[in-house]
Amino acid sequence: MIRFGIVGFGLHAVRRLMPGFAKAKNCRVTALSRRNLEEAKASAKQHNIPLAFDSALELARSREVDAVLVTTPNACHVNDVLVALSCGKPVLVEKPMGMSAAECRQMVDAAHRAKQLLGVAQVFRFEDSTAKFRDRLTKGEIGRPVFAASEFSYQGRRHARKWINDLAISGGGPIADVGVHCIDALRFILQDDIVRVSARTISDPESKDVESAAVLALEFSSGALGSVLVSTRAEYRTLLEVVGETGVLRADDALNVEYPIRIELRRGGKVVESEEVFNQLAYARQVDAFADALEGKCEFPVPGEEGLKNQLVLDAAYKSARTGRAEDVGTM
């Protein structure tokens, strides 16, 4: 049984992580940290967590913590990860992994030096929906993929994460926040890497220095083309679609973890097959997979190197938005 300490215990921990841990089989939460110690103690009492701290360092030093889960705002990730690694603790860090590829490389290198596991919480890799898409593509059910699309929109006005419109803390708007999920999901499903990105963004007075909506055009190494649409102004939507030479796989709200998802196989413009899946165990599977990896039972499927690959795509997307040109994705 692996004991986790959650650094930056906030809304995400309450809404997603703790319900996931409640369903997990091989791990539990024994500690949390918040910037204010009294608030940390209150959260620990509310969620029946034994230990409360006001710093990542004190949490990582605890003998009651086997692994650290970093869920602080994006700009804090690199420091919190490095602190935990320096204390000899493996780390699972929330997405986006960092603010830049340089930060991600710093974390990956530090993990190698410390000989500790570094994972990235790309939770959609643990969903039934993405697994079904990947499996069907591997079996050749729609032939060679030609187009792949992923969308993620939600209403971000007056969001509880007040820092999401602060570029210095967030690193970007919905491209960084949820676009990284879309990018990772497409890379995972296609089992392919993105080599070039074109991006167009819009912003508004509320989003200030970050985009409020964006469209990304992706070029994969196989020759497949992808599109990612993200927004913090549009109605909630997490569509996933792959168009192949002999068929189409499609699911509306494919990446959600709250409602059943209908995956459709289409040929000739008609639905010829469909199945229903539910992603409710994704967060439990994610932490159990990390725990199992620490016990040597398996390899964690999203190591730090995968987070770095995603960040290289994000960096290229933001560069494209600035230059107005297609930009090559940097190399590892």
Q: What is the pLDDT of residues 145-179, one digit of tens each?
A: 999 999 999 998 877 777 888 999 999 999 999 99
**Cut 0.75: pTM above it:** yes
Rounded Cα distance between 28 and 32, Å, is 12
Classify domain 2-123+284-301 at the CATH class level: alpha beta
User: For residue 256, what pLDDT is reported?
Assistant: 96
* Prior bond of 96 cis (ω within 30°): yes
User: For residue 193, what pLDDT is reported?
Assistant: 98
Tokens standing for 45? 């009492």
Confidence bin at 255 (pLDDT 50/70/90): very high
List where CATH 3.30.360.10 sits in the chain. 125-279+311-328
One-letter amino acid for residue 253 of the chain:
D
Q: Which SS3 state, helix, strand or coil, does residue 78 take?
A: helix
Question: Are the beta carbons of 41 and 34 closer than 8 angstroms?
Answer: no
List where CATH 3.40.50.720 sits in the chain. 2-123+284-301
One-letter amino acid for residue 308 of the chain:
L
Q: What average pLDDT is seen over the chain?
A: 97
In the predicted model, what is the mean pLDDT of residues 16-30? 98
CATH of 125-279+311-328, one of 3.30.360.10, 3.40.50.2300, 3.40.50.300, 3.40.50.11030: 3.30.360.10
Q: What is the pLDDT of residues 175-208, one digit of tens each?
A: 999 999 999 999 999 999 999 999 999 999 988 8
Confidence bin at 331 (pLDDT 50/70/90): confident
Rounded Cα distance between 7 and 189, Å, is 30
In the predicted model, what is the mean pLDDT of residues 56-68? 98
Q: Give the residue from 47, 9, 48, 1 showing the smallest Cα distance to 25.
A: 1
